[in-house]
Amino acid sequence: MLRSADMTAVADVRRALRELLTSRSWGGSGGCDTAELLTSEIVTNALVHTNRGAEVTATLLDGFTASASDLLRVEVRDFVARPPRMRVTDCNGTHGRGLMLVQTLADEWGVRSQGAGKVVWFELYGGPA
């Protein structure tokens, strides 16, 4: 469980994700970098915009079909039902690009209600480095 506004936790989550992906030889350096970036974005959003903490789950599914690469699914659960919203920022803005990055770089992503909150998730197809 990540505490509300504990921004040092974002680096800890990135480090743990990199260790998981490296131990499974998933995605090469580019895939790991993308996974870390997207995870940082959705964890940061949960910690900054909800003020209630979050839970992070990363799951690797090996060769889930005969024709597909390995799948990474990252889920961040928070405890506020309000859905995230995509923001439009100008080129000089310093905030508001997180969900745009997730939408652009993830193979799949979404939001689902869960209890007294929601889960923001993304998936990346990778495979061995």
For residue range 44-100, list pLDDT tens digits in order: 999 888 878 899 999 998 765 544 558 999 999 999 998 887 777 666 655 667 899
Whether the model pTM is above 0.75: yes
φ/ψ bin of 53: left (φ > 0), alpha (ψ from -120 to 50), beta (otherwise): left
Q: Where are the domains of the chain?
A: 8-125
Band (2; pLDDT cuts 50, 70, 90): confident
Average pLDDT over residues 96-108: 89
Task: List, in sequence order, every beta strand (DSSP E) within 18-63.
Answer: 54-61
Question: Of all helices (H) and strands (E), which one includes residue 110?
Answer: strand 108-114
Token digits of residue 110: 């979404």
The CATH classification of domain 8-125, taken from the options 3.40.640.10, 2.60.40.60, 3.30.565.10, 3.40.50.300: 3.30.565.10
With a cut of 80, say whether residue 10 has pLDDT above it: yes
pLDDT number for residue 69: 58
